[in-house]
């Protein structure tokens, strides 16, 4: 038995473990089902690399006292980091199918987001960060599993698109009001809770799109959508826990 045969057998076992032979949703053809599972694995592979990179960069910011102090002492740098991912999204969307430029832009986008995550984590006790991380993991795994189950049983979540977009606009506007006119820890807790609910719903919506609607050349954009959903959920949970601690 050669190395190629062993690798092929290993890949088959992995695919079966991920439900490769199971239909993703009613009415999907066998060939389409196989291609769609391959696309899903590709997106989750990219996501895994993004989360590893985020952990490394955010951990460096938290553990490096000079770096965290620099950002805390220079509010302008934090503002720049807040807008940098939005700026990078434009060329990332335009060149999402241009290899290797798409991967370079995705790496820069991930690093810019990771720096913001690191700054947020450096402002909170380690225990709260770990608690937020654990809660985020539980919510993401639960909602992802539910969405796959729902899709297999014929449920569709495309109707959530307009509702979630409108809710996102409201949340952003409320966040701007909070930035210039702080309303106290109670309002911050409410804001964090509503944001967590919003991005929990976005995880369901974007996972449903991953299963059914993203085309096979949109793997970069699919990973960006889910990456932002998970990180925004984590940051909102972290904000709720920090607000509860400060008010208690």
236 in any annotated domain: yes
Taken in order 147, 150, 151, 152, the sign of the CA dihedral is positive
For tokens 């937020």, what's the residue?
A: 132
pLDDT at 70: 82
> 44 lies in which domain range?
28-247
Picking from 23-27, 69-73, 131-135, 203-207, which range would have the lowest pLDDT averaged per residue?
Answer: 69-73
In this predicted structure, the answer to whether residue 10 has a pLDDT above a threshold of 50 is: no
220 in any annotated domain: yes
* pTM for the full predicted model: 0.87
pLDDT at 21: 60
Average pLDDT of the chain to the nearest whole number: 86
* Letter string b/e over residues 75-93, b meaning 16 or more CB atoms within 10 A of that residue's CB: eeeeeebeebbeebeebbe
79 in any annotated domain: yes
181 in any annotated domain: yes
Residues 139 and 182: their CA atoms lie apart, in Å, by 29
pLDDT at 185: 73
In this predicted structure, the answer to whether residue 65 has a pLDDT above a threshold of 60 is: yes
132 in any annotated domain: yes
For tokens 């976005």, what's the residue?
A: 202
22 in any annotated domain: no
What burial class does residue 60 get, using C-beta atoms within 10 Å of its C-beta: 0-12 exposed, 13-18 middle, 19+ buried?
middle
* pLDDT tens by residue, 19-51: 446 889 998 889 999 999 999 999 999 999 999
187 in any annotated domain: yes
3-state secondary structure the chain: CCHHHHHHHHHHHHHHHCCCCCCCCCCCCHHHHHHHHHHHHHHHHHHHHHHHHHHHHHHHHHHCHHHHHHHHHCHHHHHHHHHHHHHHHHHHHHCCCCCCHHHHHHHHHHHHHHHHHHHHHHCCCHHHHHHHHHHHHHHHHHHHHHHHHHHHCCCCCCCHHHHHHHHHHHHHHHHHHHHHCCCCHHHHHHHHHHHHHHHHHHHHHHHHHHHHCCCCCCHHHHHHHHHHHHHHHHHHHHHHHHHHHHHC
* pLDDT tens by residue, 134-182: 999 999 999 999 999 999 999 999 999 999 999 999 998 888 777 777 7
Mean pLDDT of the 210-228 span: 94
Picking from 31-35, 52-56, 120-124, 161-165, which range would have the lowest pLDDT averaged per residue?
Answer: 120-124
Q: How many CB atoms lie within 10 A of CB 181?
A: 8
In this predicted structure, the answer to whether residue 242 has a pLDDT above a threshold of 80 is: yes
Cβ within 8 Å of residue 132, ≥6 positions away: 124, 234, 237, 238, 241
43 in any annotated domain: yes
Say how many domains are in the chain.
Answer: 1
């Amino acid at each position: 038995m050669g190395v190629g045969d062993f690798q092929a057998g290993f890949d088959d076992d992995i695919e079966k473990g991920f439900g490769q032979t199971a239909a993703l949703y009613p009415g999907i053809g066998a060939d389409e089902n196989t291609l769609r599972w391959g696309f899903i694995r590709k997106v989750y592979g990219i996501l895994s690399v993004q989360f590893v990179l985020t952990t490394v960069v955010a951990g460096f910011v938290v553990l490096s006292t000079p770096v965290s102090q620099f950002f805390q002492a220079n509010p302008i740098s934090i503002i720049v980091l807040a807008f940098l991912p939005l700026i990078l999204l434009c060329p990332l969307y335009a060149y999402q199918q241009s290899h290797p430029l798409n991967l370079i832009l995705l790496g820069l986008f991930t690093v810019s987001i990771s720096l913001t995550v690191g700054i947020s984590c450096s402002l909170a006790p380690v225990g709260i960060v770990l608690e937020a991380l654990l809660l985020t993991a539980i919510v993401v795994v639960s909602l992802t599993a539910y969405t796959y189950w729902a899709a297999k049983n014929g449920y569709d979540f495309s109707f959530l698109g307009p509702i979630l977009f409108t809710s996102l606009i409201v949340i952003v506007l409320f966040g701007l009001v909070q930035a210039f006119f702080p309303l106290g820890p109670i309002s911050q807790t409410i804001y964090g809770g509503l944001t967590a609910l919003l991005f929990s719903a976005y995880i369901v919506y974007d996972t449903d799109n991953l299963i059914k609607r993203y085309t096979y050349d949109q793997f970069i954009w699919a990973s960006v959508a889910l990456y932002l959903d998970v990180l925004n959920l984590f940051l909102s949970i972290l904000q709720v826990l920090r607000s509860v601690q400060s008010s208690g």
